[in-house]
Amino acid sequence: MKKQMPYSMPEGYMQSVQQRLEAIPDRAKGVGSRPAASPWQKVSPYLALAAVFAAAFVIGGTLLKRTIPSSSSEEIAAYYMDSDLTLAQLEDAFFYYED
């Protein structure tokens, strides 16, 4: 028994492939291609990304300021005096947090 190929190639297929392959360089030269992007189109994605980061920092900073309780200088000084620091360390800490 002879094996037969169950698939066959349509007539004229190779000629149409050849024509399509020859048309590819024409499209690359600009036939049917998009026009060059303007400077605004090139920069706008970066500006959008910068705007997202800026918004995240503003929102995050606002949330942090509203949720973290503020401490007075006296409370901070009392905390450092109770934490067994040397006098130099206490002075540095006090001058750091001084208003």
What does the block give as tokens for 24?
């590819």
Write the CB contacts of 85 (distance below 8 Å, at least 6 apart in sequence). 93
Asked whether residue 82 is assigned to any structural domain, the reply reads: yes
Asked whether residue 10 is assigned to any structural domain, the reply reads: no
Asked whether residue 63 is assigned to any structural domain, the reply reads: yes
pLDDT of residue 60: 95
Do 42 and 55 have their domain in common?
A: yes
Of the two residues 9 and 93, the one the predictor is more confident about is: 9
pLDDT level of residue 30 (50, 70, 90 thresholds): low
**How many independent structural domains does the chain possess?**
2
List the domain range (segments joined by +) for residue 91.
Answer: 70-99
Do 76 and 53 have their domain in common?
A: no
Do 76 and 59 have their domain in common?
A: no
Let me know: does 94 contact 74? Beta carbons within 8 Å: no
Asked whether residue 32 is assigned to any structural domain, the reply reads: no
Asked whether residue 98 is assigned to any structural domain, the reply reads: yes
